[in-house]
Structure 1
Amino acid sequence: MRIVIAGGHGKIAQLLERQLSDAGHDPVGIVRNPDHTKDLEAAGARALVLDLEKTDVDTLAGHLDGADAVVFAAGGGGSSGAERKLTIDRDGAVLLADAAEKAGVSRYVLISAIHTDDFDPARATLPAADDDVMQVYLRAKSEADADVRKRAFDWTIIRPGTLTDEAGTGTVTVGTRVDSGEIPRADVASLVATAILEGTAVRTQFEAVSGEIPISDALATIKY
């Protein structure tokens, strides 16, 4: 399978690329910095140099032609301002969805965030004070999720808890809503890869933290 990943140089994305490559698939990571190409190649992926904030639907759709699935793993980053939470975390996800529809890609996986619908509307507006940036981030994720849920393609929205760099355990707790907790980035990557390769959790949105259920089994329990 050819799987195109927006935010291809992110930590989850590189773990996902390695998993997909090791399984014999063809991951393509979208990056805006050409210097990141070597890192993607080391992870077993091909790089597509493209700035999501400076491209358009037609251009992006052209690069998605023939893809079996797309993954949105991009983000403005912890040091970015509130504005980029909207232009990347929300608008980038919507742009990828528009391009996927235009290119006829039937599978879309969006990495979101746990409890993102709990944002405070009064604090999630621009301009935002420093201590309100997280509220804008949660708003951006929530609005991106809502847009993707309206689409006709086979979408999956994964809302992980606090991300860590610990080794993956291969076991999780998932549900429409779960208590706050941590989850290794490697396990989030495995959730994405398994959902795509096994065709599970289609047209579902769920939260995920570390737990005791094997990832494949956990995804199989999520109702379509």
Structure 2
Amino acid sequence: MKVLVIGANGQIGKHLVRLLQESEEHTVTAMVRKEEQAKDLEASGVDAILADLEDSVDALTQAVIESGAESIIFSAGSGGSTGPDKTLVIDLDGAVKSMEAAERAGIDRFVLVSAIQAHNRESWADSPIKPYMVAKHYADKELVASSLNYTIVRPGNLLNEPAIDKVSVAENLERGAVPREDVAKVLIATLTEEATYRKSFDLVSGESAIADAIKQL
């Protein structure tokens, strides 16, 4: 499957690009917003396309079409150093514009990175990152309401540690942590696993192999 990674220069995105490049099942195009990022990717043998989530839906649609993608993994985020305004623009509006672009381009499969318990308002009512959780909550709702064949993955606290290849997935989980590399592996595994189609789930480290865990959804 030809996969477009939106947010390819992010911390999860870099894992996604590498794993997809190594895959025998998929090919990858990385969407980035800076020319130097694209050049670095192409130098390492990865197809890249320039686009910005603050661009129009028309521009994003054209980028999706030019990528030749059959599916999209959206792992972009505004990052922890920006304010609520950028969170709104990237994590919510950027995600929704990408969904609209996918629909216009005739893409069916769309996998979205969310955040653990984003569907449960009560869990983040007093959170210091409430604007981020609100953005994730409504981006998720827009994807569910779309025509796309979606999977929404809601990982716990993200760790910069090597993958352990063992996870726990469910509609509702207690808060926990998970390596970013394991998140990337789960995202890729969902692409063709029908048990994850039109499903949303929390994700933390656990005791089950990734393929086994997602088949049980």
- TM-score over 0.5 for the alignment? yes
Which residue number corresponds to residue 134 of structure 2?
139
Instruction: Give the superposition deviation at 1:38.
Output: 4.3
Q: Mind listing any 5+ residue stretches in structure 1 that lack a counterpart?
A: 125-130
Distance 1:142 1:44, change over 3 A: farther
Distance in structure 1 (CA, Å) of the matches to 2:194 and 2:20: 14
Distance 1:64 1:171, change over 3 A: same
Structure 1 segments, 4+ long, off by >6 Å, are: none
RMSD across aligned positions (CA): 2.0
Which amino acid is the alignment partner of residue 168 of structure 2? Answer: T
Which residue number corresponds to residue 143 of structure 2?
148
Which amino acid is the alignment partner of residue 14 of structure 2? Answer: Q
Which residue number corresponds to residue 83 of structure 1?
85
Which residue number corresponds to residue 18 of structure 1?
18
1:9/1:39 contact within 8 Å kept: no
Which amino acid is the alignment partner of residue 109 of structure 1? Answer: V
- Percent of aligned pairs with the same amino acid: 38
Which residue number corresponds to residue 110 of structure 2?
108
Instruction: Give the superposition deviation at 1:197.
Output: 3.8
Instruction: Give the superposition deviation at 1:63.
Output: 2.1
Which amino acid is the alignment partner of residue 148 of structure 1? Answer: L
Which amino acid is the alignment partner of residue 154 of structure 2? Answer: R
Distance in structure 2 (CA, Å) of the matches to 1:142 and 1:168: 27
Q: Mind listing any 5+ residue stretches in structure 2 that lack a counterpart?
A: none
1:18/1:43 contact within 8 Å kept: no
Deviations 1:107-158 (A, max 9, x none): 00000000123457xx89xxxxxx85x1111000000000000112210000
- Counting matched residue pairs gives 213
Which residue number corresponds to residue 31 of structure 2?
30
TM-score by length of 2: 0.91
Instruction: Give the superposition deviation at 1:58.
Output: 1.9
